[in-house]
Structure 1
Amino acid sequence: MATVTLISVTTLGAVFLPQLPPERLRAVVRAADESGLEELWLWEDCFRESGIATAAAALAWSDRLRVGVGLLPVPLRNVAIAAMEIATLTRLFPERVHIAVGHGVQDWMHQVGARVESPVTLLREYIAALQALLAGERVSTEGRYVQLRDVALDWPPPAAPPILAGAIGPKSMRLVGEASDGAVLTAGNSPSAVVEAKKILDAGSAAAGRKSVPVVVYLHAATGPDAEERMEAERANWQYDTIADRSVVGDAATVARAVRALADAGADTVVLQPTPDDPDPEGFVRFVARDVRPLV
C-alpha cells in the first residue's frame, strides 16, 4: 500500500457568509467553538452586515475561537475609527482577532459616494497610517486621501496586531506584499493562480526589503445534499467559465486534498467558503473542524 504524505497548513478555517441573517451567527459561533474550529471569518459586504460588530459578538460568544474579518473596505472607514475599533477588539480579546483591509467592491463604493480615483494610493496611505496608530504612534500625515493631524490612540493594544490586506489586480497585490502583514486571496483562485499571486506578493516584499507575507486563501466548498447543484449555482453567480480547480465538492477526504493543493501552492491558511444556500451552516463548521482538519 502506498504511503501518503500529508502537508499541513498553518490554519484551516471557515466563513460565516453575510447572506445569512445576523441572528444566525451565535449558533454558528457556538458550533465552531465547541468543535475546535481554528478560525471563523466574517465579511463586511455592502449592504449586509458590519464586520466589526459581528466580530465583537463572535468573540464574546466564544472562548478560544479566532475571528477574522476579511475585509474592511477602506473607503468606507476613516482610518482613525478603524484603528480605535481594532485596538478595542485586540485589547478585549488578545491574539484572537485578524483584520484585513482592502479596496472594497468599486460599484458599492460608488453607490455610497466613497469611490476614489486611485484605490491603490488610498490603500497604501491607509495601511501605513493604520499600522502606525496601532503601534501607539502619534501620527500626522497629509496624504492624497488620508489626513491625520496629531492623532494617537489613548488605548493602543500592548502589541500591534497584524494588518492583512486583500487584493486582486497585480498592482494591488504587489502593494500588499510591500506594505501589509499578510495577504487575503478571494475564493475562485486555482492552485496555479495562487502560485502566480505568490510570485507577485513576494516581489513586492522583496522590493520593500521584507520577508514574504503569509497568505490566506478562501476556497469554495460544498458537502452533503445537493452539493453539486449548489456549487454550480455558485459558478453561475461568480460567472466562472469553469468551476474546475476553483472549488471542491465532496466528502472530507476530497476537501482535504483540495486544501493540501492550495497549501502546496503557497497558502498558509485555507478558509472554506460554503455556498450561501448551505442547508446546515452549523454542520458545515463542524465538518471543517472534526472531519477535514484531521486529514490536513
Structure 2
Amino acid sequence: MTRLGIMFTPSLPPESLPTVARAADEHLDDLWVWEDCFKQSGLASAAVALARTDRLRVGIGLMPAPLRAVALTAMEVATLARLFPGRFVPGVGHGVQSWMGQAGVRVESPLTLLREYAVALRQLLAGEEVSVQGRYVQLDGVKLDWPPDPAPLLMSGGQGPKTLALAGKVADGILLAAGVSEDDLERSLRSALAERPADLPAPEVVHALIVATGDGAERRLAAEYAMWDVEAAPGRGVAGDAEAVAAAVRALSARGATTVALQPTTYLDAEGVAALVEFAGREVRPLLA
C-alpha cells in the first residue's frame, strides 16, 4: 500500500513541530520537513521529530548541497541514522538558486556539485574512506568513525529533466517538487529512470499533494494555487472529503508515487495540521487498504 505522510511546511513556527509529529506518529507513516532558506533547519527539525515520536519515519526534502560541507552532512546524517535506525530519510538537492546567491554559496554548475556531493555522501555513509578532488567536493582520506548500519535511503530530486535524471542515477529515491501534477509525475519519473543503473532497485517516489478539507475547501485550495502561481490540475491538489483525498492518492499511486505526503494549506495552524493528520489517518487510510 502507498505510504501516507504529512508535510511540515515552514509556514508553521518550529515550536509547533512536536504537536504535528506526535499526531503523525499516531496516524500516518511519514513526516517530511523542509529546509527552505532562511526559515528552519531540516536536520534540527528531523532530530526533534524523531526524538518526540516512536515509530514515525521522518524525511528531509531537501537539504541544499551548496549550504553544507559534505563531510559535516555525513556526520550529522550518520548520527541520526544510528540513533533512529530505519526511521530517518535524508535528502539533498540544488537549493533555490536565488537563495544560494543570497547566502553567498551559489555555484556555476549546480548539477556538477550535486553529482559530486551525492556520490561522496553515499560513500561516506557506507563507511568508506573517501578521497576525491572534484570541481566542488574535495576530501582527503575522510572516513566516519560511526557510519550507520545500514545506511539510510538518500533522496534527491527537484525540477527539470537533467536534475531528475541525475537524481535517478545517484539517489535511492526521488522527491518531487511541490505543486506537481499527475502528468508532471509521469514525466518526472521518465526522466529519473532514463539513466538509472540497472543494479539499483526501483526508487522510492515521494509526491506532495496539497489538501484542503471542510467548509470553504475549494476556495482555500484555489488560494494555495494562486500563492504557488500554478494552475489547478489532477494530482497537484485536492479539496473535499476523505473519499476525494483517497481517490487523489490512489491516482498518484497508479502513476508511480510510492509515498504521498499531504501538504496542508498555509492558513492552518499547528492544531489544524494535527487535525488534518488525524482526518487522514482515521478516514483516508482505511479507504486506501
TM-score category by the smaller chain?
over 0.9
**Does residue 16 of the first structure (1) align with residue 8 of the second (2)?**
yes
Amino acid paired to 1:266: G
Q: Is this contact kept in 2: 1:38–1:289, CA < 8 A?
A: no
Mapping 1:1-296, distance limit 5 Å: 8-9=1-2, 11-34=3-26, 36-206=27-197, 210-279=200-269, 280-296=272-288
Instruction: Give the deviation of 1:276 after TM superposition.
Output: 1.4
Q: Is this contact kept in 2: 1:176–1:204, CA < 8 A?
A: no
List, as ranges, runs of 4+ consecutive aligned residues in structure 1 with deviation greater than 6 Å: none
1:204 aligns to what SS in structure 2? coil
Identity of aligned residues (%): 54
Instruction: Give the deviation of 1:243 after TM superposition.
Output: 4.6
Distance, in Å, in 1 between the alignment partners of 2:231 and 2:21 is: 34
1:205 aligns to what SS in structure 2? coil
In structure 2, the gaps of 5 or more residues are: none
Q: Is this contact kept in 1: 2:81–2:87, CA < 8 A?
A: yes
Per-residue CA deviation, residues 156-209 of structure 1 (Å, 9 max, x unaligned), is 112111111022111111111111111001232221221111111111215x65
TM-score normalised to the size of structure 2?
A: 0.95
Instruction: Give the deviation of 1:26 after TM superposition.
Output: 1.1
Deviates more, 1:241-250 or 1:282-291: 241-250
Q: Is this contact kept in 2: 1:18–1:45, CA < 8 A?
A: yes
Amino acid paired to 1:270: V
Amino acid paired to 2:259: T
In structure 1, the gaps of 5 or more residues are: 1-7
Q: Is this contact kept in 2: 1:52–1:69, CA < 8 A?
A: yes
Per-residue CA deviation, residues 194-229 of structure 1 (Å, 9 max, x unaligned), is 1111111111215x6544322111111111233222
Distance, in Å, in 2 between the alignment partners of 1:254 and 1:195 is: 21
TM-score normalised to the size of structure 1?
A: 0.93
Q: Is this contact kept in 1: 2:209–2:235, CA < 8 A?
A: no
2:90 aligns to what SS in structure 1? strand
CA RMSD of aligned residues (A): 1.3
